[in-house]
Amino acid sequence: MKSIEYKGSQSVEVGEKAVPEVGPGEVLIKVAYAGVCGSDMIIYQGVHPRAKAPLVMGHEFSGTIVKGHSTLPAGTPVTVYPLLSCGTCDPCKNGYAHVCNTLKLIGIDCDGGMADYVKVPEDKVLPIPESLSLKLGAFIEPVAVGVHAVGRSGYKPGDSAVVYGAGPIGLCVASCLAYFGAAKVMVVEANPHRLDVARQLGFTPIDAVKDDIRAKVAEHTRGRNADLAFDCAAHPSVHSTILDILRVQGTSVVVGSYKKPPEVDLLKVEFKELTLIGTRVYTRRDFEVAIAILQSGRIDFDRLLTVAMADDAPAQFQNLLQGSTDAIKMLFQLGQ
């Protein structure tokens, strides 16, 4: 089978590999599409704390069952809940398996979906409706990140929100807010193309370079400021405004991963009685809600997806690293 394999820092190769042999409790999936995540780019740069070469990356993918599932027949369209939790640590035992003390992921800690076939434990397989395309099926995972982030934020119907960053996660958070009925969803972004996509999806764009972010948020909320802010950019500049654009007792949610600790003015948190919240990955329930959101067709997620052929993976990883592509979410087509 064809596989896209991480071989070492800035090295990805497309090669031939044996189809995985499934054991008891394992399911073989023929992959259709596999997305490239920010964490895959960290692996590609050789700085991921856990991932070791050689590795087939890919934790956001769709495909069809080949064999091994006890109830779902061959040909069933599926996605995979990629979290591997230990089941015995304190968070796992208390209902927080998604923040397991030793959380691992399919596609980071073991071979994942960037190959024609992948084997996964049966309990990680989630069927997807026939009416949902396999292409959108590979985007369930990022939408689930948005569902989880909005769920964590304490969002109430009619709230207004500012999302920093119009990458896949920022746009998924914004889309979930819109789906759940937010009054106003503003998206702060420096990249003109991404800002334009945010506008096309129906969000209120705020140019991080040209606009006065504080003034724009005040204007769009009639001076009230935002109920919620989501930091999906994890850029040092975010903290110069994110606490200012919130109303008194507003909530700021940390979604993106900071490479270095940012400077945060905790005096603002104190004086405005703000709440700071963290959010990490998703639960299985978030996957189910994400499937419903995608299936509803209310948000044009297809606009975010760029499909590339698996053979182009080495070049596409370089393009993503250099920022020389307009792709918001790059998907590799597999299983041909």
Residues of this chain that interact with Zn ion (CB under 5 A) are: 37, 60, 85-86, 89, 92, 100
Please name the residue that has the structure tokens 């400077």. Answer: 263
Chain centroid offset of residue 195 CA: 18
Residue closer to Zn ion (CB basis): 69 or 329: 329
Looking at beta carbons only, is 156 or 285 nearer to Zn ion? Answer: 285
Least distance to Zn ion, CB of residue 217, Å: 28
Task: Tell whether the torsion through CA atoms of 152, 156, 157 and 161 is positive or negative.
Answer: negative
Pick 84 or 182: Cβ nearer Zn ion: 84
Please identify, using beta-carbon distances, which residue of 84 and 132 lies nearer to Zn ion.
Answer: 84
CB of 39 to Zn ion, least distance (A): 6
For residues 279 and 253, is the Cβ–Cβ distance under 8 A?
yes
CB of residue 126 to Zn ion, shortest distance in Å? 15
Q: How far apart are CA 239 and CA 244, in angstroms?
A: 9
> Which of residues 9 and 101 has its CB atom nearest to Zn ion in the complex?
101
- Tell me which H or E stretch contains 40: helix 38-44
Which of 134, 274 has the CB closer to Zn ion? Answer: 134
Q: How far is the CB of 97 from Zn ion (least distance, A)?
A: 6
For residue 32, give the nearest of 111, 131, 144, 137 by alpha carbon.
137
Half-sphere exposure of 320 (CA within 13 A, CB side): 27
Q: Residue 42 CB, nearest distance to Zn ion (Å)?
A: 11
Nearer to Zn ion, 99 or 276 (CB): 99
Task: State how far the Cα of 287 lies from the Cα of 123, in Å rounded to an integer.
Answer: 14
- The CA distance from 285 to 103, in Å, is 18
SS3 187: strand
Residue 147 beta carbon to Zn ion: minimum distance, rounded to whole angstroms: 14
Nearer to Zn ion, 100 or 136 (CB): 100
Which residue spans within 48-94 are E strands per DSSP?
Answer: 55-56, 61-67, 77-80, 83-84
Output the smallest distance, CB 57 to Zn ion, in A: 10
Q: Is the peptide bond before 54 cis (omega within 30 degrees of 0)?
A: yes
49 alpha carbon, distance to own chain's centre:
19
* Smallest distance, Zn ion to C-beta of residue 36, A: 9
- How far, CA to CA in Å, does 79 sit from each of 52, 82, 93, 95, 164? 24, 9, 25, 22, 28
Quote the least distance from Cβ 141 to Zn ion, whole Å.
Answer: 6
CA atoms within 13 A on the CB side of 33: 19
Specify the residue, 199 or 280, whose C-beta has the smaller distance to Zn ion: 280
